[in-house]
Each structure stands twice: as structure tokens, then as C-alpha cells.
Amino acid sequence: MTLWKGQAFAISHADDSAFEGAGLRPFFEYRHMGIPDATGGKFSAHVIRAVPGMESRATWHSHDLDFQLVYVTKGWVVFEYQGQGEHVLREGSCVLQPPGIVHREVRHSDDLELIEITSPADFTTQEEDAP
């Protein structure tokens, strides 16, 4: 395998990658795109979509990571952030969630689909008290 600055070439096509339900949240499905393997675990990128008819538990939580970006490609989602209030993200919306910010997913449309990019690929999530 050829590496460029510690990264391998990776490509993922929607018709070659299945959505899986074994992720952080049971009301979402995840399509992994091979980024952790290509970056030695330094980064992850995946497509997340809502499971129709399932709702969020709206649990406050935080993540122990260095970088988390969310970009909505379809539908809408409401997030609430510590010190920032509620925000409706819709198709074309992008949010950079700073490391450790306490937040929750409040509700979403059944057709929600978004891209999430994180660093590192593996990180812990802690439930938190409401801010």
C-alpha cells in the first residue's frame, strides 16, 4: 500500500457501501467510507441517515475528540448546544462542534441525511447533565 504523509488513497461509492445500524445512536444508520483505515485512525467520515419513525432520546452528551464537523445533505435536524441554544440545520447547513461541547440532538426529519467528519476516528462519548 502506498502512503502519502501517512495516508492511503481511499474511495467509497454509495452503491458499494451499505448503511449499518450499529452506531452511536440507534435512531441513525451509518455508512462508513474507509477513512479510518486510510488514515491510520486519525480521521473518520461517514454518512448518517435517520431511521424513519425512530426519534431521538434528546440526551445531553459530549465527545472526547479533536474535531467534529457535520454537514446536512438532506432533511433537517435540531441540535441544542451548551451556551448556543437550539439550531435547526437543514440541507446545506454545516456546524463545527468544538471539542467537548455539551450538546444534544433534539429531533430530526425522517429523511435526514448528513455527513460527519471526526478526528480521531475512535472517540468516547459521555452522557452529561443539562447545561
Question: To the nearest 10°, the Cα dihedral for 26, 30, 35, 40?
Answer: 20
Three-class SS of 20-78: ECCCCCCCEEEEECCHHHHCCCCCEEEEEEECCCCCCCCCCEEEECCEEEEEEEECEEE
pTM for this one? 0.90
Among residues of the chain, what percentage have pLDDT more than 70? 97
CATH of residue 52 = 2.60.120.10
Is 3 contained in some domain?
no
Count structural domains, the chain.
1
Residue-wise pLDDT for 5-35, tens only, equals 889 999 999 888 888 876 666 788 999 999 9
Taking alpha carbons only, the member of 48, 112, 104 closest to residue 76 is 112
Fill in the amino acid letter for 22.
A
Q: Is 61 among the domain residues?
A: yes
Asked, for residue 44, whether it belongs to a domain, the answer is: yes
In a domain, 10, yes or no: no
Q: Where in the sequence is the domain holding 52, given as residue range(s)? A: 19-122
